[in-house]
Amino acid sequence: MTFDESSTARPLVFAHRGASAAYAEHTRAAFMQALADGADGVECDVHLTRDGHVVLIHDDTLDRTSDGTGEVADRTLDELHQLDFSSWKGVRIPEAYGAKSEQFLTLEELLEILQGAGRPVGLAIELKHPNPYQLKLEDKVLEVLAEHGWAPESSVVDNISVTFMSFSTDSIQHLLRLVPPNFLCQLVHEVDLADLRQDHGLGPITGGAVANVLRAAQLDAEQVLDDGKVLLAGPGIDYVREHARTVQRWMESGRRFRVWTVDSENDVALCQGLGIHEITTNKPAAVLAQIGSQEAYPACD
């Protein structure tokens, strides 16, 4: 696989959980707006329900993004469909984007939305860990995709190019048994103890213990990329700023970069200056307007 590294090439723009600055994340409205904005692809997070359905939600609990509470894994799909996943955003949903009851999505429903785009589009699926079903999540995702015509050698469903991502190296290693490395993205993030304590209300002892676990996961992810086991490197924008030498080393060794979550004009400019291939953003329309109409870097193949 080769990339067009000329100055006229622009990064591919992936909508983070859909156009989630405009509408509630992971909703039908957010994904339909992302397509309307012209996003090259969309990113989603997946969990399994109690009755084995792949659903789109970031957290392992319902409290932040719905009017429900408790664990996603403890609910059936029918139970989840009774909840409101969009009103917390406080934004009116246009009639064309579906009713409030239609906003919560399964992976199959997202595929149907993307198939209706009328153009090629990317789908980046993040496998969320830890979860009570462990690597059964990966198996079920591949099963759902296969039912829609997905094959590992192309990783395409109709007009949709599919890639897989995880912070979990166990997930990546499991997927490598069936998925070629050019369709796999090892996610990696910068661990900041102060932010960790503030965001989660952790004390010094608990915060330190959690930070140690996350740092170990960071080292494992870095090793996967150092070893060249997968093509795609998925660092957060904070990681890109803090680890310039590592980013340069991975880029020189042929890793393709998908950086998240890039919303500010300064961060978009930084990514362009570094030659980042893919930007994940909550604001696809704004990012596309900033980077202009140059030819995009080619997608993975």
Query: Could you list the active site residues?
Result: 16, 58
The rounded distance, in Å, linking the Cα atoms of 190 and 235 is 8
C-alpha distances (whole Å) from 246 to each of 127, 240, 255 are 24, 9, 11
- For residue 115, the tally of other CB atoms under 10 A from its CB is 14
The strand ranges marked E within the chain are 12-16, 41-48, 54-56, 121-127, 156-157, 160-166, 184-188, 232-235, 256-259, 278-281
The strand ranges marked E within 88-200 are 121-127, 156-157, 160-166, 184-188
Q: How many CA atoms lie within 13 A of 40 on its CB side?
A: 22
The rounded distance, in Å, linking the Cα atoms of 166 and 279 is 16
State both tokens at 279: 């930007």
**Cis-peptide, bond into residue 130, ω within 30° of zero:** yes
- Taking alpha carbons only, the member of 70, 47, 57 closest to residue 27 is 57
Contact status, residue 294 vs residue 275, Cβ threshold 8 Å: no
Q: What is the dihedral of CA 200, 201, 203, 209, to 10 degrees?
A: -10
